């Protein structure tokens, strides 16, 4: 799960950087526009999904002989796309971007939710477990 681990690192790095940027360089501007809370919401979801992706990347490999789909890949991709759409649209909106960005936020939220459904499927079907019997 090297790619998922790398992706979690990228999300973590950018989440921390954007959080610091908003808290320091942009704070006055965001306060003046009343969008500091919007920025902080974007950062919160960004970082939560970076950590979740790291945990997913570190989860045990599929059991030997289990040919089922690896839903972790679907979850990781969904979370990455979801962060871009959800958090990215909030960042853009907070910075005074075009109003249509607010329509991307729910799409990003649905994409994040799909990632969590993929995690449920991964572990409910036993494809995310350590042993072949799913325990």
Quick check: 81 and 49 in contact, CB under 8 A?
no
| pLDDT tens, position by position, 78-87 | 999 999 999 9
Token pair of 1, please? 């799960």
pTM to 2 decimals?
A: 0.86
Q: In the predicted model, what is the mean pLDDT of residues 40-63?
A: 90
- Predicted confidence at residue 133, as pLDDT, reads 46
Q: In the predicted model, what is the mean pLDDT of residues 96-104?
A: 92
Name the more confident of 33 and 134.
33
C-alpha to C-alpha distance for 50 and 28, rounded to whole angstroms: 27
pLDDT class for 134, splitting at 50, 70, 90? very low
pLDDT class for 96, splitting at 50, 70, 90? very high
Ranges of H-type helices in the chain: 2-23, 27-33, 36-58, 71-94, 104-124
Token pair of 53, please? 């992706």
**Considering the chain, what is the average pLDDT of its residues?**
89
- Predicted confidence at residue 123, as pLDDT, reads 85
pLDDT class for 135, splitting at 50, 70, 90? very low
- Predicted confidence at residue 1, as pLDDT, reads 58
C-alpha to C-alpha distance for 128 and 117, rounded to whole angstroms: 13
């Amino acid at each position: 799960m090297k790619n998922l681990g790398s992706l979690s690192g990228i999300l973590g790095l950018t989440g921390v950087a954007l959080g610091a940027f908003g808290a320091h360089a942009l704070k006055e501007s965001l306060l003046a526009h009343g969008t500091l809370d919007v920025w902080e919401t974007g950062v919160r979801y960004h970082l939560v999904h970076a950590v979740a992706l790291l945990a997913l990347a570190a989860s045990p490999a599929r059991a030997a002989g289990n040919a089922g789909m690896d839903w972790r890949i679907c979850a990781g991709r969904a979370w990455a796309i979801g962060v871009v759409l959800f958090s990215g649209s909030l960042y853009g909106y907070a910075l005074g971007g075009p109003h249509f960005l607010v329509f991307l936020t729910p799409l990003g939220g649905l994409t994040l939710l799909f990632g969590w459904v993929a995690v449920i499927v991964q572990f409910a079907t036993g494809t995310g477990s350590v042993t072949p019997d799913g325990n």
